[in-house]
Amino acid sequence: MDLGLRDKVAVITGGSIGIGRAVAHGLAAEGAHVVIAARQVERAEEAAAEVATRHDTRTLAVGVDVATAKGCEQLIAETTKAFGGADILINNAGTGSNETIREAADDKWQYYWDLHVMAAVRLGRGFAPSMIERGGGVILHNASICATQPLWYEPIYNTTKAALVMFSKNLANELIPHNVRVNAINLGLTLTPDWVKTATQLTEGTDRTWKDYIQGIADEWAPIKRFASPEEVADFFVFLCSSRASYSVGTTYYVDGGMTKCVV
C-alpha cells in the first residue's frame, strides 16, 4: 500500500528513543525524510544515522530541549535551513511524573506544562506556515490514556496530557481550512525504555525480574494482557500521517489494548 509519504519531511521530537525512534523508522521506510530532535545531540545523531543507513533517506539530528522557547526556535530554524520547512510534525517528547498535588512544587508543574503543552503550541505555531505553503501537512500529538483515565501517582502528567488533547482539538479546528490535519493519540501500555528502567529498579534485589513486573502490570490493566511494542504503535502514527488517512482530523485516537474503561 502506497501511503503517499515519499519525500515528505517529518519532524519528530523525542525521536532518539522508544516510540519516537520507532516512528522515525516507520516514516523513513515509506520514503520520508526525518528530523530527529532530542536533548542529547549524540543520541539524536546516533538515531539519525541508523535511520538514514537502514532506509536510504535524508535525516537531520538536532540537539534541543523543546521544553524551552529557545529549543523550539532552534528546531524550526534548523529544519527550515535543511529542508525548507516540514510536512509532518510529531510532538512526541514527554515523560511521566511521580508526585502528589499537595507536595509538588510550582516549578515541577511548570516544567511539565512547558514540555507537554507549550512545546506543542510553539512547534505547531512555528511549522504551520511552511505546511500551508507546501499545500498541507499533518501534526500528531502523542498524548496518553492518562488524559482521560488518570493514574493516581502522576497528577501533573495526567493534567498536562489532558491539556495537550484539548490543544490538539483547537489547533485542528484552526488549521483544517489550510489542509493541515491535526490529531492526538492516547496510548496505553507501551514497552518503552523508561518502562524497562523503572521495572528494573523496582525489582532489583527481589526474586522477580523486570519482565515479571511488566507482565503483572499488563495483567492488571490491559485486557489484551501485554504491552504494545514501540513499533506496533508507530504503525498507527505512520498511517495517520499518510494520505490514506485524509478524512481523519480533529480526533483523539485510543491505542491501548482495551485499557480504557469507558466509552469515548
Which residues are the active-site residues? 157
Assign 96 to helix, strand or coil: coil
* Strand order across the beta sheet in which 252-255 lies: 59-63, 33-38, 9-13, 88-91, 137-142, 180-187, 252-255
Comparing CA positions, the residue from 254, 198, 234 lying closest to residue 90 is 234
Instruction: Give residues with Cβ within 8 angstroms of 172, minimum separation 6.
Output: 181, 182, 183, 249, 250, 251
- Write out the three cell numbers for 196: 524497562
Query: 206 exposed, middle or buried (CB, 10 Å; 0-12, 13-18, 19+)?
Result: exposed
Bridge partners of residue 137, in order along the sequence: 180
Q: Provide the Cα torsion 137, 93, 164, 186; round to 10°.
A: 90
Residue 174 has which C-alpha cell?
484552526
CA dist list (Å): 127 to 11, 31, 87, 136, 257: 10, 21, 8, 11, 32
- For 31: left if phi > 0, alpha if psi spans -120 to 50, otherwise beta; the answer is left
